[in-house]
Amino acid sequence: MIIGVTGGIASGKSTVARAFAALGIPWVDADEVAREIVAPGEPALAEIAEHFGEGVIAPDGSLDRRALREIVFGDAAERRRLEAITHPRIRERLIAHLARLQAQAAPYVLLVSPLLFESGQQALVDRCLVVDVPEAVQVARTAARDDVDEAQARAIVAAQMSRQERLDRADDVIDNSADEETLAPRVAELDRRYRAAGLPPSA
């Protein structure tokens, strides 16, 4: 069984994944795979340079994410072009990583992805676990962690899928608005259900 873990920026996906990992559950990070497939030497990077120009390649040969973001931001056609280059490769590599983990006989595995619903990766998982916090908490945690002020953090949150839309698509929800210690018993409860039943009853 594969559990998709998703949530908005700074909702606590990695924190939740680490809590499952402490119980022996392995996970694949879709963000990490998205970076892997555009590393120097990867065919996706060459295609990106071909389509978007050498201006998106940094002097050291890596992808200049900021330059690329500036091109695709607000340009739906260019964004779709970028996704057409990256999404199939991300998907292919996620499937390979997940298969490798499953071959290690884990009781179940996690696919942690900020864009589980938006990218079609939901099709790779049996069940979706949404990490949920109020938007004000997301904004505060983003501003505390990243190099952005609260207004910028609010704009990032506003540009993402809404909290309600995510909750509507969830099979299970984990509330991460309290401290990390509060998370542990809820993770343990979900872990028991995932191990026991293969598939737990709907949340």
List binding-site positions for ATP. 10-15
Least CB distance to ligand ATP at residue 161 (A): 13
- Interface region with ligand ATP, contact rule CB under 6 A, candidates 40-48, 49-57, 98-106, 174-182: 174-182
Between residues 12 and 26, which has the closer beta carbon with respect to ligand ATP? 12
Euclidean distance between CA atoms 80 and 120, whole angstroms: 14
- Interface region with ligand ATP, contact rule CB under 6 A, candidates 8-16, 69-77, 81-89, 120-128: 8-16
Q: For residue 32, give both structure tokens.
A: 């990490």
Task: Say if CB 200 and CB 172 are below 8 A apart.
Answer: yes
**Helical ranges in 9-162 per DSSP H:** 13-21, 30-36, 43-52, 65-72, 76-103, 135-145, 150-159
Q: Mask: binding to ligand ATP, 12-51, rule CB under 6 A, as x and -?
A: xxxx------------------------------------
How many C-alpha atoms does 13 have within 13 Å on its Cβ side? Answer: 24
- Which residues sit at the interface with ligand ATP, rule CB under 6 A? 7, 9-15, 114, 141, 145, 176, 179-180, 183
